[in-house]
Structures are given as C-alpha cells and as structure tokens.
Amino acid sequence: MTLDLPLIFAVLMGVAVLAYVVLDGYDLGVGMLMPAADAAEQNIMVASIGPFWDANETWLVLGVGLLLVAFPAAHGVVLTALYLPVTAMLIGLMLRGAAFEFRVKAEGWHRELWNWLFWFGSFLAALAQGVMLGSYITGFEAGVGYFLFSLVVAGGLCGGYVLLGAAWLVLRTEGALQQKAIAWTRWGLWWVALGVALVSLATPLVSETVRDRWFDFPRTLGLLLLPLASAAAWLWVWRQTARLRQGKSTLEWAPFAGAVAIYLLAFAGLAYSLFPYVVIDRLTIWNAAAHPSALKAVLVGALIVLPFIVGYTVYAYRVFRGKAQASLYDH
C-alpha cells in the first residue's frame, strides 16, 4: 500500500498546531488575566505555568517546521502574506519570555512593569494569532471587510485563551484565587460564545468555499453535530463551575477538560471547512507538497523527534502536577 505522504504530514501539522493552541493557549490566557489579580496571586499564576510554557511553544516550532519542509510552496505564500502579524506574534512571545524571567528578580515598581509587559506580550501574541487565523480563512484577501473579520476572529481567539487560562487556574490553584478563576472561567464562556457566534455568521460571508461546504445539504447534515456538541461542552463547563463555586463538586479538572473539548470541536469544524487546501482556493496539500523522496526522509526524522517531544511534555506535566506554589518562581 502506498502511503499518502502529504495527507500524513497534513495530519501531523494539524496535531502540532492543535497541541500548541491548547497548551500555549492556556498560559497565554493566564498572562492576559494577570491585571485582574493582586501581587500575591500573580506569583501563583506565574508559578502555575512556569514549568510548562517553554515546552508548550515547542509545538509551534514543530508545526511551522512541518509547514516549511513538507509544504514549501505553501510556506512561502503563508509567511509572506502574514509577515506583519507573525512579526507581532514573535515580539509578543519575546516580551513575555523576558518579562517572565526578569519579574522574578525585580522589586517594587519594576516588578509591576514586568507584570504589565507579561500581560502585553501575552495579549499581543494571542491577538496576532487571531489575525493570522482570520486572514488564513479568507485566503489572505485584502480589504476593510476582511480585516474586520480577522479582528473578530482575533477577539474570539483571545476569549478562548482566557477561558483556557482561567480553567487551568481552577485546576492548579485553591482558595480565593481559585474562586476568582471560577468567575473568570464563566466570564470567558460568554466571551467565547459571542466570538463563536460572530465568526460563524461572518465566515460564510467572506469565504465562498466555506459557504459551499457548510450549506451543501443534505451531505453536511452531520456537520450539525459539531455545534450541538460544542453547546453541550459549553453547558457542561458552566454547570461544573457553578457546582465548584457552591462547593458541591470536587471535579477541579472538569472546566479545563470542557474548554479543551470546545477547542477540539472548533478545530474539527475548521479542518472540515478547509480540507484539502493548505492555502484556501489556491493550493491543496498535494499541490504544495515537497517531492516524495524529501517527504520520506522528513517523515523518518519526525517519527524520531515526535516521541521525545510527547514524552518530555508528559513527563513535565507529571512531575509538576498538583497545586501551584508561589515560592517556585519567587524569591
């Protein structure tokens, strides 16, 4: 049996991107929530993501690397079209990394400054990623309407990251901060609901390809399961946070699991809408793929490297499981 190498690499790239969005998404969300906490709570929030955030960003490197080596034709188109938001994202990630390290040693207003830069770096990176996603969905079309659509997508993605970050804090903190995180999670749910509603209404208007995919009845009736499942996950998170707030449940993992489920379902809908294009309406995964000999060589390397990334990620989360302690990243 002949392997469909472009399809295999498309799946690997999709898994890498999804892992990045979920894993780095929650620590970007924690960063965006920093201004809502006091100084002691901020230390705990940073400690809750400290052992993981570097490893989380490895998935972004893997995803971009697979795009470069497996789909070189698409890589040139995508990064050329997204040059400015990619630059903004990298600036945000660098600011966040520097702020993370320097805030530990800073005193007084200097620490407060680094906390604000940590927030700004997280927000800038999340916003840039949302603009990139919006531009990608529209096939990099230019115009005011398309730019406004990208901003709507960016707002929805920021809300989704806040939801993930708040739900992560529900799992990793306790006491008053956990109660705040529960409130932030419920606020994030409304933000996500609004963002998903706006994006769902606007996407068929800006992309004829997506419109045809969504409204090709009766073939797409099964697609209705995705919004129904998303609504069920949304309601489950809402109910679980209410029970945790009232002390009627000990399932602290439930809000985060529900938030991840919402992301998984949204990603499945996006994959259905865009497949088999790697650049919508321009390049399919087969048109953009590298030569089969190159793909075979890269696949061997990917199969060697991927278990190490997965293994390290699992190991880190196992070692640093439990409630976060402020002393981990404080004086």
Is residue 257 a contact partner of residue 265, using CB atoms and an 8 Å limit? no
Q: Does residue 225 fall inside a structural domain?
A: no
Q: Is the pLDDT of residue 140 over 90?
A: no
Q: Is the pLDDT of residue 269 over 70?
A: yes
Q: Does residue 144 fall inside a structural domain?
A: yes
pLDDT mean over 209-223: 75
Amino acid, single-letter form, for residue 110: H
As a dihedral over the C-alpha atoms of residue 95, residue 97, residue 102, residue 108, rounded to 10 degrees, the angle is 60
Q: Does residue 47 fall inside a structural domain?
A: yes
Structure-model confidence comparison of residues 249 and 191, the more confident one: 191
Q: Is the pLDDT of residue 102 over 90?
A: no
| DSSP category for residue 329 | G
Helices (H), 34-143: 39-49, 53-70, 72-81, 83-102, 108-137
* Tokens 């400015």, located at residue: 84
pTM, whole model, 2 decimals? Answer: 0.89
Q: Does residue 300 fall inside a structural domain?
A: yes
How many other CB atoms are found less than 10 A from the CB of residue 305? 13
Tokens of 242: 């209410």
Q: Could you give the number of structural domains in the chain?
A: 1
Structure-model confidence comparison of residues 175 and 214, the more confident one: 175
Q: Is the pLDDT of residue 160 over 50?
A: yes
Q: Does residue 330 fall inside a structural domain?
A: no
166-178 core/surface letters (b: 16 or more CB in 10 A; e: else): bbbbbbbbeeebb
Domain extent for 284 = 5-211+233-319
Q: Does residue 176 fall inside a structural domain?
A: yes
Q: Does residue 325 fall inside a structural domain?
A: no
Q: Does residue 67 fall inside a structural domain?
A: yes
pLDDT mean over 239-244: 91
Q: Is the pLDDT of residue 1 over 50?
A: no
Q: Is the pLDDT of residue 215 over 50?
A: yes
